[in-house]
Protein backbone atom coordinates (compact mmCIF):
# COMPACT_ATOMS: atom_id res chain seq x y z
CA UNK A 1 0.00 0.00 0.00
CA UNK A 2 1.42 3.44 -0.86
CA UNK A 3 2.05 5.94 1.87
CA UNK A 4 -0.91 8.23 2.50
CA UNK A 5 1.18 11.17 3.57
CA UNK A 6 4.40 12.55 2.18
CA UNK A 7 7.52 12.40 4.34
CA UNK A 8 7.27 16.13 4.99
CA UNK A 9 4.08 15.53 7.00
CA UNK A 10 6.25 14.45 9.94
CA UNK A 11 7.99 17.80 10.07
CA UNK A 12 4.77 19.68 9.41
CA UNK A 13 2.90 17.93 12.20
CA UNK A 14 5.67 18.66 14.69
CA UNK A 15 5.77 22.26 13.50
CA UNK A 16 2.02 22.58 13.82
CA UNK A 17 2.27 21.94 17.58
CA UNK A 18 4.57 24.93 18.02
CA UNK A 19 2.69 27.09 15.54
CA UNK A 20 -0.64 26.16 17.11
CA UNK A 21 0.58 27.12 20.57
CA UNK A 22 2.03 30.39 19.27
CA UNK A 23 -1.16 31.17 17.38
CA UNK A 24 -3.27 30.56 20.46
CA UNK A 25 -1.07 32.78 22.63
CA UNK A 26 -0.92 35.38 19.88
CA UNK A 27 -4.67 35.39 19.38
CA UNK A 28 -5.33 35.86 23.10
CA UNK A 29 -2.71 38.62 23.30
CA UNK A 30 -4.18 40.37 20.27
CA UNK A 31 -7.68 40.23 21.70
CA UNK A 32 -6.51 41.68 25.02
CA UNK A 33 -4.66 44.50 23.22
CA UNK A 34 -7.61 45.21 20.92
CA UNK A 35 -9.95 45.35 23.89
CA UNK A 36 -7.84 48.11 25.42
CA UNK A 37 -7.14 49.92 22.15
CA UNK A 38 -8.34 53.49 21.63
CA UNK A 39 -10.24 52.14 18.67
CA UNK A 40 -12.36 50.06 21.03
CA UNK A 41 -12.54 52.38 24.03
CA UNK A 42 -12.94 55.61 22.06
CA UNK A 43 -10.14 57.32 23.97
CA UNK A 44 -8.44 60.25 22.22
CA UNK A 45 -11.10 60.34 19.53
CA UNK A 46 -12.47 63.87 19.09
CA UNK A 47 -16.24 63.93 19.13
CA UNK A 48 -18.04 66.25 16.72
CA UNK A 49 -20.59 68.48 18.46
CA UNK A 50 -23.47 70.51 16.95
CA UNK A 51 -21.59 73.67 17.99
CA UNK A 52 -17.81 73.87 17.75
CA UNK A 53 -17.43 74.80 21.40
CA UNK A 54 -13.81 74.99 22.52
CA UNK A 55 -12.85 74.26 26.12
CA UNK A 56 -9.35 75.45 25.20
CA UNK A 57 -10.70 78.91 24.33
CA UNK A 58 -13.24 79.37 27.10
CA UNK A 59 -11.35 77.71 29.94
CA UNK A 60 -7.77 78.19 28.86
CA UNK A 61 -7.63 81.51 27.00
CA UNK A 62 -10.40 83.36 28.82
CA UNK A 63 -10.13 81.60 32.17
CA UNK A 64 -13.76 80.76 32.87
CA UNK A 65 -14.03 78.37 35.81
CA UNK A 66 -15.35 74.86 35.15
CA UNK A 67 -18.21 75.46 37.54
CA UNK A 68 -19.52 78.46 35.60
CA UNK A 69 -21.11 75.99 33.19
CA UNK A 70 -20.93 72.65 35.08
CA UNK A 71 -22.76 74.08 38.03
CA UNK A 72 -23.83 70.83 39.66
CA UNK A 73 -20.44 69.18 39.91
CA UNK A 74 -20.10 69.82 43.66
CA UNK A 75 -23.59 68.79 44.65
CA UNK A 76 -24.84 66.19 42.19
CA UNK A 77 -23.94 62.93 40.58
CA UNK A 78 -23.89 64.68 37.21
CA UNK A 79 -21.66 67.68 36.61
CA UNK A 80 -24.45 69.15 34.48
CA UNK A 81 -24.64 70.34 30.90
CA UNK A 82 -25.25 74.09 30.79
CA UNK A 83 -28.53 75.34 29.31
CA UNK A 84 -28.39 77.60 26.24
CA UNK A 85 -29.08 80.51 28.58
CA UNK A 86 -25.61 80.12 30.07
CA UNK A 87 -24.08 80.63 26.62
CA UNK A 88 -26.32 83.59 25.94
CA UNK A 89 -25.15 85.35 29.11
CA UNK A 90 -22.16 86.44 27.05
CA UNK A 91 -23.14 85.72 23.48
CA UNK A 92 -26.02 88.18 23.38
CA UNK A 93 -23.21 90.76 23.60
CA UNK A 94 -20.07 89.27 22.03
CA UNK A 95 -19.90 87.35 18.80
CA UNK A 96 -23.63 87.94 18.73
CA UNK A 97 -23.76 87.73 14.95
CA UNK A 98 -21.19 85.00 14.39
CA UNK A 99 -22.40 82.35 11.96
CA UNK A 100 -20.64 79.75 14.16
CA UNK A 101 -23.10 80.50 16.93
CA UNK A 102 -26.27 80.26 14.84
CA UNK A 103 -27.19 76.83 16.33
CA UNK A 104 -26.96 78.42 19.79
CA UNK A 105 -29.16 81.37 18.83
CA UNK A 106 -31.60 79.03 17.15
CA UNK A 107 -31.84 76.99 20.34
CA UNK A 108 -32.39 80.23 22.25
CA UNK A 109 -35.17 81.36 19.86
CA UNK A 110 -36.94 78.01 19.66
CA UNK A 111 -36.31 77.06 23.30
CA UNK A 112 -35.06 73.66 22.11
CA UNK A 113 -31.91 72.53 23.99
CA UNK A 114 -28.78 71.94 21.96
CA UNK A 115 -28.27 68.20 21.42
CA UNK A 116 -24.73 67.83 22.77
CA UNK A 117 -23.08 64.50 22.13
CA UNK A 118 -21.99 62.72 25.31
CA UNK A 119 -18.25 62.03 25.37
CA UNK A 120 -17.84 60.15 28.64
CA UNK A 121 -20.54 57.54 28.51
CA UNK A 122 -20.31 55.08 31.37
CA UNK A 123 -22.35 51.88 31.16
CA UNK A 124 -25.76 52.03 32.83
CA UNK A 125 -24.76 49.44 35.40
CA UNK A 126 -22.15 51.77 36.87
CA UNK A 127 -23.08 54.27 39.56
CA UNK A 128 -20.87 57.33 39.29
CA UNK A 129 -21.11 60.50 41.33
CA UNK A 130 -19.14 63.66 40.49
CA UNK A 131 -19.78 65.41 43.79
CA UNK A 132 -18.15 62.77 45.99
CA UNK A 133 -15.04 62.68 43.83
CA UNK A 134 -14.69 66.46 43.91
CA UNK A 135 -15.34 66.53 47.65
CA UNK A 136 -12.67 63.90 48.33
CA UNK A 137 -9.90 65.63 46.39
CA UNK A 138 -10.15 64.15 42.91
CA UNK A 139 -9.59 66.96 40.42
CA UNK A 140 -11.24 67.32 37.01
CA UNK A 141 -8.04 66.66 35.12
CA UNK A 142 -7.44 63.32 36.84
CA UNK A 143 -10.18 61.81 34.70
CA UNK A 144 -10.81 64.37 31.96
CA UNK A 145 -7.25 65.36 31.23
CA UNK A 146 -6.07 68.91 30.67
CA UNK A 147 -9.21 70.62 29.34
CA UNK A 148 -7.45 73.82 28.40
CA UNK A 149 -5.58 71.86 25.76
CA UNK A 150 -8.74 70.35 24.25
CA UNK A 151 -10.47 72.43 21.57
CA UNK A 152 -12.72 69.42 21.01
CA UNK A 153 -13.35 67.16 23.95
CA UNK A 154 -12.23 63.56 23.94
CA UNK A 155 -11.77 60.81 26.51
CA UNK A 156 -8.27 60.63 27.86
CA UNK A 157 -8.82 57.26 29.52
CA UNK A 158 -10.22 53.89 28.54
CA UNK A 159 -13.09 54.14 31.06
CA UNK A 160 -12.55 50.41 31.59
CA UNK A 161 -13.10 49.05 35.06
CA UNK A 162 -9.38 48.46 35.53
CA UNK A 163 -8.88 52.20 35.03
CA UNK A 164 -11.41 53.05 37.77
CA UNK A 165 -9.82 50.51 40.10
CA UNK A 166 -6.37 51.99 39.53
CA UNK A 167 -7.47 54.91 41.71
CA UNK A 168 -9.94 53.09 43.95
CA UNK A 169 -7.20 50.68 45.00
CA UNK A 170 -4.66 53.45 45.71
CA UNK A 171 -6.42 56.81 45.89
CA UNK A 172 -3.39 58.42 47.54
CA UNK A 173 -1.59 58.48 44.20
CA UNK A 174 -4.21 60.80 42.72
CA UNK A 175 -5.65 63.01 45.49
CA UNK A 176 -4.88 66.73 45.46
CA UNK A 177 -5.60 69.69 47.77
CA UNK A 178 -9.10 71.16 47.51
CA UNK A 179 -7.86 74.46 46.01
CA UNK A 180 -6.32 72.59 43.08
CA UNK A 181 -9.45 70.64 42.05
CA UNK A 182 -10.29 72.90 39.11
CA UNK A 183 -6.68 73.50 38.07
CA UNK A 184 -6.56 71.83 34.68
CA UNK A 185 -2.77 71.85 34.62
CA UNK A 186 -2.15 70.36 38.08
CA UNK A 187 0.74 67.92 38.24
CA UNK A 188 1.35 65.59 41.20
CA UNK A 189 4.26 66.77 43.38
CA UNK A 190 7.30 64.57 43.83
CA UNK A 191 6.11 63.54 47.31
CA UNK A 192 2.58 62.76 46.05
CA UNK A 193 2.26 59.51 47.98
CA UNK A 194 3.02 61.23 51.27
CA UNK A 195 0.73 64.19 50.51
CA UNK A 196 -1.93 61.83 49.18
CA UNK A 197 -1.97 59.73 52.34
CA UNK A 198 -2.37 62.88 54.43
CA UNK A 199 -5.20 64.12 52.19
CA UNK A 200 -6.82 60.70 52.24
CA UNK A 201 -6.98 60.90 56.04
CA UNK A 202 -8.06 64.54 56.02
CA UNK A 203 -10.91 63.94 53.57
CA UNK A 204 -11.98 60.69 55.26
CA UNK A 205 -11.54 58.71 52.07
CA UNK A 206 -12.74 55.15 52.68
CA UNK A 207 -10.36 52.21 52.71
CA UNK A 208 -9.54 50.34 49.51
CA UNK A 209 -11.76 47.47 50.76
CA UNK A 210 -14.78 49.77 50.73
CA UNK A 211 -13.80 51.56 47.53
CA UNK A 212 -13.35 48.30 45.66
CA UNK A 213 -16.41 46.57 47.04
CA UNK A 214 -18.84 45.59 44.25
CA UNK A 215 -21.73 47.65 45.53
CA UNK A 216 -19.71 50.86 45.72
CA UNK A 217 -20.12 51.26 41.97
CA UNK A 218 -22.63 48.56 40.98
CA UNK A 219 -25.74 49.33 43.00
Partner 1 sequence: MSTEVTRGTDDRIDQYPDKHVTEGGRAGEELDGYPPVIAPGHSFASVTDKIASLALRKRTPIGWLFAFFIAGSILQLLVLSIAYLLAVGVGVFGNNQPVGWAVPIISFVWWIGIGHAGTLISAILLLFRQSWRTSINRFAEAMTLFAVACAGLYPLLHTGRPWLAYWMFPYPNTMGMWPQFRSPLIWDVFAVSTYASVSALFWFVGLVPDLATFRDKSRHWIPRTLFGLGALGWRGSARHWHRYETAYLLLAGLSTPLVLSVHTIVSFDFAVSIVPGWHATIFPPYFVAGAVYAGFAMVLTLLIPIRVFYGLEDFITMRHIHNCAKVMLATGLIVFYGYIMEAFFAWYSANIYERAMMWNRMAGSYSFFYWSLILCNGIVPQLLWSKRVRENMFALFTIAMFVNVGMWLERFIILITSLYRDFLPSSWGMYMPTIWDLAMFVGTLGFFVVNILLFIRLLPIISIFEMRTLLPEAKVHPEEEHKVIEDKRQERGDTPASGGLLPATGD
Please report, as ranges, the residues that interact with partner 1 according to CB under 8 A. 1, 4-5, 9-10, 13, 28, 32, 35-36, 158, 160-166
Instruction: Indicate the residue among 96 and 161 with the shorter CB distance to partner 1.
Output: 161
- Answer yes or no: are the C-beta atoms of 74 and 140 closer than 8 Å: no
Q: Are 139 and 176 in contact (CB under 8 A)?
A: yes
* Residue closer to partner 1 (CB basis): 138 or 217: 217
Q: How far is the CB of 201 from partner 1 (least distance, A)?
A: 25
> Minimal distance in Å, beta carbon 162 to partner 1?
3
| 148 neighbors 55 (Cβ within 8 angstroms) | yes
48 SS3 class? coil
Minimum distance between the CB of residue 99 and partner 1, rounded to whole angstroms? 43
Question: Whose Cβ is closer to partner 1: residue 135's or residue 165's?
Answer: 165
CB of 154 to partner 1, least distance (A): 19
**Cα 29 to Cα 26: distance, rounded to the nearest angstrom:** 5
Distance of alpha carbon 217 from alpha carbon 125, whole angstroms: 8
Q: What distance in Å separates the CA atoms of residue 53 and residue 74, rounded to the nearest whole number? A: 23
Tell me if residue 149 falls in helix, strand or coil: helix
Q: Residue 188 Cβ, how far from partner 1 at the closest point, in Å?
A: 21
Report the alpha-carbon distance of residue 192 to residue 56 in Å, rounded.
Answer: 27
Q: Min. distance of Cβ 159 from partner 1 in angstroms?
A: 10
> Which residue from 179, 184, 156 is spatially nearest to 62, judged by alpha carbons?
184
Tell me how far apart the alpha carbons of residues 41 and 209 are, in angstroms, rounded to a whole number: 27
Residue nearer to partner 1 on the CB measure, 6 or 111: 6
Closer CB to partner 1, residue 12 or residue 117? 12
Closer residue to partner 1 in complex, CB, 7/111: 7
User: Which is nearest to 160 in space by CA: 129, 123, 213?
Assistant: 123
Amino acid sequence: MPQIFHRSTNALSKLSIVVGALLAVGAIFTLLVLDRSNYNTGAFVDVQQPVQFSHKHHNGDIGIDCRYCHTAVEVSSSAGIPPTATCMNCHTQIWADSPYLEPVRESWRTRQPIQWVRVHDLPDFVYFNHSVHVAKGVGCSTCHGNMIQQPLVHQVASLKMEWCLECHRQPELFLRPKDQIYNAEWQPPSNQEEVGLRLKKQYNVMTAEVLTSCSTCHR
